[in-house]
Amino acid sequence: MRVRLRRSSRQLFPEEDFALRVMRIRSHSPASLHEHDFHELVVVLGGAARHVTSEGHYPISAGDVFLIRGDMAHGYEETNRLMIVNILFDPAGLGLPTDDLRRLPGYHVLFRLEPLLRRQHGFRSRLRLATDQLAEAAGLITRLENELVGRPPGYRFMARAHLMHLIGFLSRSYADAPAEAAERRSLLALAGVLSFIERHYAEEITVDRLAGMAAMSESSLMRSFRKVTGRSPIDYVIALRVAKAAELLRRTDLAVTEIAFRCGFNDSNYFSRQFRKTMGRSPREYRKQQAAGGPA
């Protein structure tokens, strides 16, 4: 897995320590299936085509925006004046600060929920930009592209910033669009839950409240939550709390008890036990090893 990623990195990205690239495709002829290991953000600037993936094929046209998850093969058929731009990037490799982003519902839809449920939703839940939104996105992409092509001093900094701007803009656009279709509403409901957790992890969170804000029964919320996150709601919250606590242990010298309270644990004893369960060692031990440059 790791080896595949590195080899692919060299093939896809000109600079192996900077995993960001923009590719424009102006194709009148069908492209063959290709695959890779990175996130590919696709923006359809003009024209139309049929998007073919291993999970099915969907008609696409100007204004469509969607994410191809790294290892998925895909291509385009029956292209008609198709103009698309692919933004390939490795989110982890670029070190983007996603904490704030994850507070946006639209981010969860665009990067997690819609790609995951695309098959069931028949691509009807994708982001569709209005004309003026598409123009703004195109402008951001052009600026990003100019930095990557010209490589003026500071271009990495600027390219990262433009990419962040684009991702933030697209995330907001999804949440702003009217959601008349049932599929979109259910995605936004789940995204609302995920973003709520990101914003309120330090407070008391109950499944009852989450279900209420999603307008779902507790059982159906738990079922769809597990489907998209792989874990139960409370498991997810605890994992987030522990992750936030681990960060505070690394980056500050706050007392363990204080960190427990700041991360939503009202009992430092209970925090200690939960921390060990997921991190394999006690909070204090973890901090000590981190300070010594030990294992992550």
Partner DNA sequence: AGGCGTTTCCGCCAAC
Partner DNA sequence: CAGTTGGCGGAAACGC
Residues that bind DNA (CB under 7 A): 204, 206-208, 216-217, 219-220, 222, 226, 232-235, 237-238, 255-258, 265-270, 272-274, 276, 282-285
Q: Which residue has the tokens 């779902």?
A: 216
Q: Which is nearer to DNA, 158 or 207 (CB)?
A: 207
Rounded to a whole number of angstroms, the minimum distance from the CB of residue 244 to DNA is: 14
Rounded to a whole number of angstroms, the minimum distance from the CB of residue 101 to DNA is: 25
Q: Which is nearer to DNA, 13 or 265 (CB)?
A: 265
Is 38 within 8 Å of 181 (Cβ atoms)? Answer: no
Phi-psi region of 154 (alpha: psi -120 to 50; beta: other; left: phi over 0): left
Q: Which is nearer to DNA, 76 or 265 (CB)?
A: 265
Q: Which is nearer to DNA, 159 or 205 (CB)?
A: 205
**Ordered DSSP codes for 83-134:** EEEEEEE-HHHHT---TTGGGSHHHHIIIIIHHHHHHHHTTTTSEE--HHHH
Rounded to a whole number of angstroms, the minimum distance from the CB of residue 118 to DNA is: 23
Angle at 95 between CA 91 and CA 99, to 5 degrees: 85
Rounded to a whole number of angstroms, the minimum distance from the CB of residue 270 to DNA is: 4
Q: Which is nearer to DNA, 61 or 219 (CB)?
A: 219
Taking the alpha carbons of 31, 32, 33, 35 in that order, is the dihedral positive or negative?
negative
Taking the alpha carbons of 183, 66, 164, 72 in that order, is the dihedral positive or negative?
positive
Rounded to a whole number of angstroms, the minimum distance from the CB of residue 116 to DNA is: 18
Rounded to a whole number of angstroms, the minimum distance from the CB of residue 124 to DNA is: 21
Query: CA-to-CA distance for 69 and 175, rounded, in angstroms?
Result: 21
CB atoms within 10 A of CB 292: 8
Rounded to the nearest angstrom, the gap between the alpha carbon of residue 74 and the centroid of all alpha carbons in its chain is 19
Task: List the one residue out of 162, 156, 152, 18 whose CA is nearest residue 85.
Answer: 162
Q: Which is nearer to DNA, 226 or 262 (CB)?
A: 226
Q: Which is nearer to DNA, 165 or 262 (CB)?
A: 262
Phi-psi region of 62 (alpha: psi -120 to 50; beta: other; left: phi over 0): beta
Rounded to a whole number of angstroms, the minimum distance from the CB of residue 56 to DNA is: 28
